[in-house]
Amino acid sequence: MGNHFKNSQRALLHEGEEDEMEIFGYRTQCCRKILCLAGSIFSLGILPLVFYWRPAWHVWAHCVPCSLQEADVVLLKTTDEFQTYSWKKVMWIYMSALNSAFGLTPGHPLITDEEDIINRAIRKPDLKVRCIKVQKIRYVWDNLEGQFQKIGCLEDCLTSAKIHLKFGSGLTREEQEIRRLICGPNTIDVEITPIWKLLIKEVLNPFYIFQLFSVCLWFSEDYKEYAFAIIIMSIISIALTVYDLREQSVKLHHLVESHNNVTVSVRGRKAGVQDLESCFLVPGDLLILTGNKVQMPCDAILIDGSCVVDEGMLTGESIPVTKTPLPEMDSSAPWKMQSGSDYKRHVLFCGTEVIQAKGAGAATVKAVVLQTGFNTAKGDLVRSILYPKPMNFKLYRDATRFLLCLVGTATIGMIYTLCVYVLSGEPPEEVVKKALDVITIAVPPALPAALTTGIIYAQRRLKKRGIFCISPQRITVCGQLNLICFDKTGTLTKDGLDLWGLMPCDRNGFQEVHSFASGKALPWGPLCAAMASCHSLILLDGVVQGDPLDLKMFEATTWEMDISGDNFHIKGVPAHAMVVKPCKTASQVPVEGIAILHQFPFSSALQRMTVIVQEMGGDRLAFMKGAPERVASFCQPETVPTSFASELQIYTTQGFRVIALAYKKLEIDHHITALTREKVETDLIFLGLLILENQLKEETKPVLEELISAWIRTVMITGDNLQTAITVARRSGMVSENQKVILIEANENSRSSSASISWKLVEEKKRIVYGNQDNYINIREEVPGNDREGSYHFALSGKSFQVISQHFSSLLPKILINGTIFARMSPGQKSSLVEEFQKLDYFVGMCGDGANDCGALKMAHVGISLSEQEASVASPFTSKTPNIECIPHLIKEGRAALVTSFCMFKYMAVYSMIQYIGVLLLYWKTNNLSNYQFLFQDLAITTVIGVTMSLNGAYSKLVPFRPAGRLISPPQLLSVILNILLSLAMHIVGFVLVQRQPWYSVKMHSACTVKNESISKLTVSPTAQEKIESNSAITSFENTTVWFLGTINCIMVAVIFSKGKPFRQPTYKNYIFVLVLIIQLGVCLFILFADIPELYRRLDLLCTPVLWRVYLVIMLSSNFFVSLVVEETIIENRALWMAIKRCFGYQSKSQYRIWQRALAKDPSWPPLNQTFYCDLPECDRGVSYSNPVFESNEEQL
């Protein structure tokens, strides 16, 4: 659909992003509306119901295609594999109200500037705007471009100079009114959905509509008891679902409501500074931030002054972050491009808390509103919860196909029923009822409810372990996970870093390590000054706060922090500057203190931070701190020791976190604002290395060993140093002692050569360092041929990953098959890597502490956050225990829930087929089961089994294979078909044999022998006959035989299908289920062998000779024995199925399996000690797969 549309009739929203949609234009036709209305009336409401389930059909029925410019309805289709349809009405915003307010006319100068999207959206001369609202975002029709454009944010094309010039003085009242009307209110408004709405939405589910149909049919047949039971179960199910949805709605509402009620100061171009409610803010407004704490109600660009912000709501880390103003530069590049990948350092994000605002000198802190409402960072987070990524899991697709098969079977049964009853001359209404009955028998209405019970029980068990789930359907996906990605810091290793040592250097190279454990004071020098001042710490209420690493470093100097007062007069140092001073006990420090004049804050993209400081009575200096490789690249080469690389390897090999420090002197005459980051960060003098200890969590190694022994791949994705990551991978067991690590380095194009990629083997060697035996990483140049054999792991950096993605994309799958260590990865690269693993058909889990992992947590099939910050709400699972022990528990419960779902599906399908077979056999004799017989099977047997069969907990051990991920797989199908065929054979044998018994007679209503009398003298009790005559159409020997065989068979099938090891606890440990089965079987055998006329009369059964009852037990036992043997020796025999696969040459079609087989046959892989260039045939210039939504949004986090 959509191929015949012209370009004017279709377009793309969010082009290139994860939530990309196709949009089609339609115009409503009156005649079509009238026809649809008539159809709705004549179909008794069925047609509107179909339109509700199929939104595209609603549009196609009511409208005709037209251009988007003329459309009054738009049809939206997601471009992902699900292709979900929805439709929206095109609305009009009328600006006539503003005409009377301040005389807005088509020629008004405010709306003639067509550079602004708002002005291009206003249709002249009638002054109105066309718009649609999709997933909480408003789009207006751009009359110049001829397309719908997002509104509620400043244009990306604005330069920094334009932002300062156009918005630096604020907006006029008229501009504010126009923007307010078109952009809408600045609210992240998540309404608490009314219960009646939730109720209607749940009731209109196709499953409940089918139940309603079934219940109406049963009431018409006087089958009231089971109808009431189904109604009660449905009410409980609907009530629980509505309660959960309501609770989520209330929680989300409370999460965002505080954002909507903030009072802010706004400067108008003519009106001056005014207090305003945050809901009235518009893009372009000029915010004035005072020194008080304030929660940001919008995204804003800082244009004057600096701020310290707590971004815990977005990143999961409650660490103060310093924001700097956007510089006013004469560049034609958009402001984001101008700031590079680190533009977010100028942006105050919605939902974050400004804990300190400091103007330059006496000036105020100003910020221009960038985005409002759901366009903001917090709005995007809330939208990801309201509109989660659809989940495509084969189980649910297979379940739908299986249900369709049952519907097909029911259709055959209906035709058979119509033929039998029409030929027998039954009244038409009875024929229709009997035919419709077959549908409710073949397709059990309780099936979906039975499937969810296992998930509900698993969710409850996870909650007891402190693992919370906001998406229960993903629990079964956990059972299929075969690759888990871990963040390192805070996930595999402890959060806190301890200072281990400091390695100063001079022109002769590195000096002796200063150990912090010794308790010796740090000697004065540039290195001490760097540690005291090169940080983003702040003084809040007399307490020093900030990044834990910065805190540890500053505390090691024993210096103190203070704020300069108004009487502070030092040339070039403003009042209220941050000042660090040596403590009173410190000696031999020639300076009174150091004033921090300006900060270029740290970012994961730049991997460094720089400060400009002023020594009191001394020099003006610049200090840099960051990743050693990055800091060294900004230093004068002669100041970097020649042993830099080897010394760095010594410490990173042991898992230490290493930070480099550098400095340079600056001219005091230069004004600070004139110094750009590029000017400051050149020709630095290398000072030394700060070594911090980052220990593994105690739980890390045993958990990784458990996962690896279960053949679940483990991958590390970290922002830390590559060699530190390799060491942590070895120490944690992710890479075992006998496995090789191959370092992949890829470099971008340079003037002299094209992009290159090289492979080098990382070898562990021993070396004596400072009297201790330490490991370090060495790149081996010569590799014997036999080292190519055996297991190996690839390690690469984020930079190399980016280059490979862009220039060597054909090599990327080969690398990912054995890629285990990914270091220096940015948040966007983490998300892209997870997506690339998914493209290889891995089921990917991502475990992180919430900091910089939000994108990857959302992208993975299963995201597990170890943080309780608000950022974790985007993750399907959150663990209260801050270590990775939750991962095996989650996988075990997922596997148990998946197997339980299969067990329940198979049981419900076979139970319905047992009843279906029995009923069709009885229909042959124009007979049927009575209501009480149906009730006993449906309620007392199947419903109770459905509730208790799922109670098995997860097995305690992770086995090295996963449960089948598909319902329609040969073993599962064979199991169901064999059990159906065995039941069919048993029922036919019983049905035929009973008619051949010497005591069988159609006219007789009992065949019980009186003591010592032969069968030839059988008599019928007159009283019994009178009582039974009222139900003579039901009672028969065939009915009695079929009912006993079917009922007891349902119990036996439950025993056969209830799986235990290796994914669930053994069945005998499910005590409630075992007790239920014993009671049910006992009751059935009691009814079978107890000669109680009143009981038989109630159940519409006939008394048969004891010998026949024994025959029934023999038939059931034979059926059970054969079924059990087949299930255990064939269906559950994994070795047999593997042998069959090998025999027929079947191989997995998963992409990663195909690549593994190809690489195993390739003797030249991996190409050690080789370098490929982009112009060689082995590589290509394919563009990497990118995930723009995370590059544009998650990087902000």
Closest among 457, 447, 446, 453 to 231, alpha carbons compared: 446
Mark whether 487 is an active-site residue: yes
Query: Beta partners for 321?
Result: 309
Q: From residue 168, how far is each of 178, 304, 595, 843 by CA, in Å? A: 19, 9, 29, 50
Q: Would you say 1043 and 933 are in contact if contact means Cβ atoms under 8 Å apart?
A: yes
Beta bridge partners of 405: none
Q: Which of 1067, 1127, 966 is nearest to 476 (CA)?
A: 966
**Which residues are CB-neighbours of 1162 under 8 A, at least 6 positions away?**
none
Cβ atoms of 395 and 476 closer than 8 Å: yes
Please give the backbone phi and psi of residue 819, each rounded to the nearest 5 degrees, phi first: -75, 120
Closest CA to 795 of 775, 767, 766, 824: 824
User: What does 182-251 look like in DSSP terms, one character per residue?
Assistant: HH--S--------HHHHHHHHHTSHHHHHHHHHHHHHHHTT-HHHHHHHHHHHHHHHHHHHHHHHHHHHH
Contact 366, 345 (CB under 8 A): no
- Hey, what long-range contacts does 1140-1146 have (CB within 8 A, 24 or more apart)? none
Scanning the structure block, which residue is given the tokens 């009620």? 261
User: What burial class does residue 1068 get, using C-beta atoms within 10 Å of its C-beta: 0-12 exposed, 13-18 middle, 19+ buried?
Assistant: exposed
Tell me the sheet residues that pair with 611. Answer: 599, 623
- State the Cα–Cα distance between residues 297 and 264, nearest whole angstrom: 9
Measured from the Cβ of residue 701, the count of other Cβ atoms closer than 10 Å reads 15
- Phi, psi angles (nearest 5°) of residue 20: -60, 140
Q: Whats the size of the chain, residue-wise?
A: 1197
State the alpha helices, DSSP H only, in 66-126: 96-102, 117-121
- Coil, strand or helix at 792: strand
Residues 910, 975: Cα–Cα separation, whole Å:
10
Give dist(CA 487, CA 493) in Å, integer.
9
The amino acid present at 223, given as its one-letter code, is Y
For 867, phi then psi, to 5°, come to -110, 145
First to last CA, the chain: 38
Classify the phi-psi angles of 537: left when phi > 0, otherwise alpha if psi is within -120 to 50, otherwise beta.
beta
Residue 948 has which token pair?
């208790």
The residue to which tokens 């035929």 are assigned = 992
β-partners of residue 289 are 365
Query: 3-class DSSP state for residue 779?
Result: strand
Alpha-helical (H) ranges within 516-643 are 526-533, 548-557, 628-633
Name the catalytic one among 285, 299, 304, 487.
487
Contact between 958 and 1062 (Cβ < 8 Å): no
- Cα dihedral 953, 958, 961, 965 sign: positive
Copy the structure tokens of residue 131. Answer: 């718009």
Euclidean distance between CA atoms 144 and 185, whole angstroms:
25
**Six-digit token pair at 348?**
């105050």
SS3 871: helix
Q: Which residues are catalytic?
A: 487
